[in-house]
Chain A
Amino acid sequence: MSRSLPSNILVAVSSVLLAHACYSAHEHSLLPATAPSLDGTPTASSSLPLDITLETLISVCLLLVGIVSSGWELKPISLRKYAGLLESGSIIPGGVDAETAAGKGRGLFDGLEERPGFLDIRHQRKEFADWLKHVNATS
């Protein structure tokens, strides 16, 4: 997976922001214990201040955008694209790794033109025998 630079920066910055928001929230939770309000009544400090909440939400959103835009290789979901990748041999169907297969592209509908059910085996045998004779004669 190759990541583009802007999204890398975005991910880094928003991670720092998120960490900062977490740290702020933690610090804030310690505050009431050390500094009780003057009149002794519980103040609004039991709920998180708006800036920390906003910082958390914004940093999470930015982080998501950064991760999503960081250049995943998406699977082809349109037939045009998928068929093209098959033809050019970039992917091989059936979960086979492109490197282990011979590297030859196989179209999605090649079976319709090869028609294994109507395989003329005698013709192919003759073809092979002729080729073998030719190879032996030239070597």
Chain B
Amino acid sequence: MSVSSYLARFVGASTHPAPSESLLLSQLAPPILNLTISDTPEQWSLYESLLMSTLRTGDDTSARLVLQRLSDRFGNSNARIMALQGMYDEAMATNPAQLEEVLKNYNEVMKGDPTNVPIAKRRITLLYHLNKKPEAITALNTLIDLNPTDAESWAQLAQYYLELSMYSQAIYCLEEVLLILPNAYNIHARLGEINYIIADSGGAGAGKEGGGVLERLEASLRWYLRAVELCDGYLRGYYGVKLVTAALLQGKFSAAQRQIPEDKVNKLNSVATVHLNDIISGSEKGKKGFTGYDAAEVAAAKELLEADGPST
């Protein structure tokens, strides 16, 4: 196998792969390391992905070798290599004191060069990992002040806020991401999810909250619809449309408060059902053009349809 075919394997995998997939990827290490070094960009991005895979599975000797070759080629002062080295050190640390040592290292680097973005991101991740959440969020805010057009940072900040249930801040951050990448349909879907979560948690409150719940559900529906509009056959988007329209139909909201009329919601609900059915049957039969859907997501969609089945 050649570099490009190995790279295809890694490109196809997410950076949060399932453990069994990590294992398969990590087992590619010996043949990849035995390839002659061709000094092409593909080879080095393959090395970078391989480093993360081997670190994930604890193949530390391979990881060491990969990192060694990368730093031989690009030098130890390259920001990206520094971040990879930092990741290696984080993974190797066996006790909290060693982790603190890595963190101190990051602080030193940041003092010398506050614009070292990869190291700044590693430092924030490590702070959050060490349960210093307020510090991590402050540091991330500083990074965003420095580099406000980095969508990845905004999305990460939204995640941190979301974990702390600071919903309006999370929504603000994701809207910033959309200002940078207006076509990011998965961020639209994410906004729909957050609005749905707010409506869901608000629903437990007093009846006075009713209007707020309705507003959130409608906002959620709008985000999901935009996501589906931007991406044809988007399973997550249609799932959301189905979920939110079902909630809107079941909730006892007065027609005067609704901004989206009920018959429209009804129609959207049946459209989503049709699309979900298409995707589920296509993917279960392994039809061409449906093979890429995540099996767990398809199963969840099926469950949703079955739960909804009797009522419609």
Residues of A within 8 A of B (CB): 79-81, 83-90, 92-94, 96-97, 100-125, 127-129, 131-132
A121 touches B291 (CB 8 A): no
Q: Are the C-beta atoms of A114 and B8 separated by less than 8 Å?
A: no
Are B230 and A92 in contact, CB atoms less than 8 angstroms apart? no
Stretch at the interface among B13-21, B194-202, B207-215, B300-308: B13-21
A121 and B87 contacting across the interface, CB-CB below 8 Å: yes
Knowing A96-B8, A100-B5, A129-B58, say if A112 contacts B152 (CB, 8 Å). yes
Is B35 an interface position by the 8 A CB rule? no
Question: With contacts defined as CB atoms under 8 Å apart, how many contacts are there between chain A and chain B in the complex?
Answer: 163
Whether B185 contacts A119 by the Cβ 8 Å rule is: no
Asked whether A105 and B293 contact (CB < 8 A) given A80-B230, A119-B125, A125-B56, the answer is: yes
Q: How far is the CA of A51 from the CA of B156 in the complex (A)?
A: 72
- Alpha-carbon distance A14/B157, docked complex (angstroms): 63
Q: Is the CB of A112 within 8 A of B187?
A: yes
Q: Residues of B with Cβ closer than 8 Å to A?
A: 4-5, 8-9, 11-16, 19-23, 52, 55-58, 83, 87, 90-91, 93, 117-118, 121, 124-125, 128-129, 151-153, 155-156, 159, 177, 181, 183-187, 190, 229-235, 279, 288-294
Nearest 7 pairs between A and B by C-beta? A89-B292, A105-B292, A84-B232, A101-B12, A131-B19, A83-B231, A109-B184
A contact residues around B87 at 8 Å (CB): 119, 121
- In the complex, chain B residues whose CB is within 8 Å of the CB of A121: 52, 55-56, 87, 90-91
Q: What residues of A have a CB within 8 angstroms of the CB of B294 in the complex?
A: 104-105
**Most A CB atoms within 10 A — which of B23, B93, B291?**
B291
Give Cα A81–Cα B159 distance, bound, in whole angstroms: 29
The complex places the Cα of A83 from the Cα of B233 at a distance, in Å, of: 9
**Cβ A127 vs Cβ B19 within 8 A:** yes
Which residue of chain A lies nearest to B183 when distances are taken between CB atoms in the complex?
A: A79
